[in-house]
A and B are shown apart, each in its own frame.
Chain A
């Protein structure tokens, strides 16, 4: 369970102050597939960074399975991320000169795991993502969809509790994008908490819970089915009568 209590994040001082997040309260249950949706500047990236232990809130607390992330040091947060968080970036960011195996095993390398052990786990994750034939290929030789799958494999190799996917379909075509979302659903179904940050409403509909952010505040939290979500979005300024975003992609 991730508990976000009264989180605020302020950047800058004086006239340049930006309230990225204002008094956010949220609970994310284990094993849920949650999306954080909003336009650019809504604060979704900031929220992701705080949940992902990359940043600390200016005020408030975030407690993840008993760990108070607000009070941890940089090294403790790094260790926490290495053990409990799996990251999926929009641009994948794989090291192009490393093989798929080396890229996937990177979180385990950082944790100090022995080579034989980490290669075994990495191969397992690679197999899960149907990339066995690419194991020894350099990351630079892969297509966009394949790279994103490698990125997902890297995110799950160390069996983290939370997967954070930051616009994972942003650089993919729709087909690959759909595949990625399906993969995330599968991962979520295996009991992991998956948090999807996106401005793609179609992707967001596929999650268990949608958290709508606007101007640093939670506008609405919508759970259940896609239809429920669409209905719930009616009347919101940014959404048309069908519950679709007026600009589908921000």
Chain B
């Protein structure tokens, strides 16, 4: 029997009991909608995170040394008091650069006696807020130097911030470079960071000319940019002061109205963090971007697992329903099939007709589901985009489904495959029906 004739007879049998066929198609449609939607969420999340992660790690990072506004920003490096006002100020500074893509700041508990505000700007397109994370180490560890026996000043440098370094530093520093000098016994209070001062390199001394004063630790932070929330490793440094919190919040590119909203966003973030700090005291949790992304990956796999589990359950339930429908349909059309067999239909053709019924119902259900989800998502995407725009600028909502065409195809194949598997024996037995008994019933 030809393919189209088999389909025609399959369709004919489905029409023989329209209500049952309709109910089964509805079940298949609903199941397909659920699976397509869940799969789409997972797929979309995966794509969004993957693309963004790839972008971060593959793009050329631009470390901006905001030299243009350095001097102005510099004054904020000192006497930093991590309060909301400072956040405002920092954002204002950066606004002048016409873009912000990444801002980090950290709030030291015990600090290493220096200006601990640092700004790192990365050109990043992640439009999600990385969870607040904490460094338990001083990021300057390994970076600090001890001033050898130099002199803080010459007599002519009195009342200036000139500093004379030992000859050892020739080549590493030049005249006029600014370094931050902090006392070994740095001091701090809970609300502010106190620094010694910034010093300008006024000259280099031979060792013999250096004083016998003890060295001073200094951190040359001016030329130091470090990725607070990036890939650097932090070493533990527990007894000299611990950076308590480091926040990295990525905010969208400048093109959109980020100014005030960015500030609000930061304010909210800082508020949350402040509260969190108070609650957790000195608990140190180490986390950086890599770990955050790994966590996202774990979230993704968990999501996949949940989606997969739910999908399997509802597929199994659906298979039972469809298999039952086919069996009932076969029994209802027993006489028809019996007569067809009597006039020459082979067992195989009979099985094909029943298989055709399964395929038709499943395809109809999946197609309706795909169309429904597709158009629903257009509407949902529009609503969510407007909503998120008002909250977080114009960002691509990552929870918006993207349907890959392979998902509906896979669903159809899985459903058809499993139904055929489950009904294989019963269809085979049915196709070998005793034609004579059917004929006798007919007669």
Interface residues, chain A, CB within 8 Å of chain B? 45, 49, 52, 54-55, 74-75, 78-79, 81-83, 85, 87, 89-91, 93, 95, 97-98, 106-107, 109-112, 154, 166-167, 170
Contact B436 A55 (CB under 8 A): yes
Contact A154 B348 (CB under 8 A): no
A110's contact among B340, B439, B442, by CB below 8 Å, is which? Answer: B340
**Residues of B within 8 A of A (CB-CB), count:** 26
Besides the known contacts A109-B1, A112-B2, 11 further A-B residue pairs in the complex with CB atoms under 8 A apart: A78-B341, A79-B344, A81-B342, A87-B342, A91-B442, A95-B12, A98-B12, A110-B1, A111-B1, A166-B439, A166-B443
Nearest first, the 6 A-B pairs at minimum CB distance are: A82-B344, A90-B443, A81-B344, A78-B346, A93-B339, A93-B442
| Interfacial chain B residues near A85, Cβ < 8 Å | 343-344
Nearest CB of chain B from residue A159's CB, rounded to whole Å: 13
Nearest CB of chain A from residue B163's CB, rounded to whole Å: 100
Most-contacted residue by chain B among A54, A78, A112 (CB, 10 A)? A78
Nearest CB of chain A from residue B334's CB, rounded to whole Å: 12
Give Cα A97–Cα B18 distance, bound, in whole angstroms.
13
- Known pairs A79-B344, A110-B344; A54 contacts B442 (CB<8 A): no
Contact A89 B345 (CB under 8 A): no
Give Cα A112–Cα B5 distance, bound, in whole angstroms.
8
Contact A112 B443 (CB under 8 A): no
Q: Does B347 contact A (CB under 8 A)?
A: yes
Nearest CB of chain B from residue A80's CB, rounded to whole Å: 8
Q: Does B264 contact A (CB under 8 A)?
A: no
- Known pairs A54-B342, A87-B342, A166-B443; A97 contacts B347 (CB<8 A): no
Contact A83 B344 (CB under 8 A): yes
| Interfacial chain A residues near B342, Cβ < 8 Å | 52, 54, 81, 87
Contact B340 A54 (CB under 8 A): no
Contact A87 B343 (CB under 8 A): yes
A89's contact among B15, B340, B348, B442, by CB below 8 Å, is which? Answer: B442
Give Cα A154–Cα B439 distance, bound, in whole angstroms.
16
Contact B443 A107 (CB under 8 A): no
Q: Does B188 contact A (CB under 8 A)?
A: no
Q: Does B93 contact A (CB under 8 A)?
A: no
Give Cα A91–Cα B442 distance, bound, in whole angstroms.
6
Give Cα A55–Cα B12 distance, bound, in whole angstroms.
29
The residue of chain A having its C-beta at the shortest distance from the C-beta of B438 within the complex is A93
A-B contact pairs, 27 of them (CB 8 A): A52-B342, A54-B435, A74-B432, A75-B346, A78-B346, A78-B347, A79-B346, A82-B344, A87-B343, A89-B339, A89-B443, A91-B442, A93-B335, A93-B442, A95-B336, A98-B12, A106-B340, A106-B343, A107-B344, A110-B343, A110-B349, A111-B1, A112-B2, A112-B5, A166-B439, A166-B443, A167-B443
| Interfacial chain B residues near A79, Cβ < 8 Å | 344, 346
Give Cα A170–Cα B440 distance, bound, in whole angstroms.
13
| Interfacial chain B residues near A98, Cβ < 8 Å | 12
- Known pairs A75-B346, A75-B347, A97-B16; A89 contacts B341 (CB<8 A): no
Contact A111 B442 (CB under 8 A): no
The residue of chain A having its C-beta at the shortest distance from the C-beta of B341 within the complex is A78
The residue of chain B having its C-beta at the shortest distance from the C-beta of A78 within the complex is B346
Contact A107 B347 (CB under 8 A): no
Contact A110 B436 (CB under 8 A): no
Contact A97 B344 (CB under 8 A): no
Contact A97 B346 (CB under 8 A): no
Nearest CB of chain B from residue A153's CB, rounded to whole Å: 13
Nearest CB of chain B from residue A166's CB, rounded to whole Å: 7
User: B97-110 vs A: 1/0 string, CB under 8 Å?
Assistant: 00000000000000
Contact B343 A54 (CB under 8 A): no
Most-contacted residue by chain A among B335, B339, B343 (CB, 10 A)? B343
A109's contact among B5, B339, B347, B439, by CB below 8 Å, is which? Answer: B5
Give Cα A98–Cα B2 distance, bound, in whole angstroms.
18
The residue of chain B having its C-beta at the shortest distance from the C-beta of A92 within the complex is B442
Give Cα A81–Cα B1 distance, bound, in whole angstroms.
14
Contact A78 B442 (CB under 8 A): no
Nearest CB of chain B from residue A61's CB, rounded to whole Å: 20
Contact A78 B443 (CB under 8 A): no
The residue of chain A having its C-beta at the shortest distance from the C-beta of B348 within the complex is A75
Contact A82 B347 (CB under 8 A): no
| Interfacial chain A residues near B348, Cβ < 8 Å | 75
Give Cα A98–Cα B440 distance, bound, in whole angstroms.
22
Give Cα A75–Cα B345 distance, bound, in whole angstroms.
9
Give Cα A82–Cα B436 distance, bound, in whole angstroms.
16
